[in-house]
Amino acid sequence: MTRYFLELAYKGTHYSGFQSQQNANSIQAEVEKALAIIRREKIILTGSSRTDAGVHAHQNFFHFDTLDAISTWKAVETEDNLIYKMNAILPDDIVIKAIYPVAPEAHCRFDALSREYKYHIYNKKDAFKRERAFFFPYKLDVEKMQQAASIVKEYHDFTSFSKRNTQVKTFMCQIIQSKWLIEEEMLVYNVIANRFLRGMVRALTATMLQVGRNKISLDQFRAIIEAKDCTKASFAVPPHGLFLVEVKY
């Protein structure tokens, strides 16, 4: 048995999310379909980090097992050739970047040391940003938002920023970096952690936007974290501004 990591990037606009779902198309379904065409058998993928419907990724990973090494596959023979063939089959909004042979026990989800996300916001109408950033044409106190981002690093329990009905054993996350940046004339929330809860980055972003608009104070922001109650936080930002930037091993 040989295990491979598969690195990919995608634009999530037209997909129901990263992971396979019933009655909805996903990134996983498209990649499994491409592999099945080439291999002529179904190969089940395991994902490193789930992303919701409409969320994009500059980098994400799957792993998969195969009885025979890729070098023995008919009409493939090399990882580079498999990448070429998969990219020819896949839709234009999904790109295979690399395929790596790894140890049989390597796990793309559980072995990840950190994930990095960025949420992009712009405040002036721009036709070229509308599918990859959130148009938010309001005055913001970015200094207060930066202070709120620093407060995030003081905490580990993020129950307040997790969507309901999430099947996780713990709401504890180790935040490595949390800050606001200016990139390409956009306001960007950049956060790195060992793990994230479902909806967590969007909830943090939306709630800090309330701080930036002086709808809530920094003390109230802190109280929302400490309440451990998702009804206290805001989740009101769309998915298309969110990118999974990097998964580190």
Active-site positions?
A: 52
3-state secondary structure of 29: helix
Residue type, 148: A
Quote the crossing angle between the two packed helices 200-212 and 142-152, to the nearest 10°: 140
3-state secondary structure of 146: helix
182 forms beta bridges with 187
CA 214 to chain centre: 28
Contact of 86 with 36, CB cutoff 8 Å: no
Find tokens 């999530």 and name the residue.
12
- Residue 11: name the closest of 203, 241, 187, 190 by CA: 241
Q: First vs last Cα of the chain: how many Å apart? A: 22
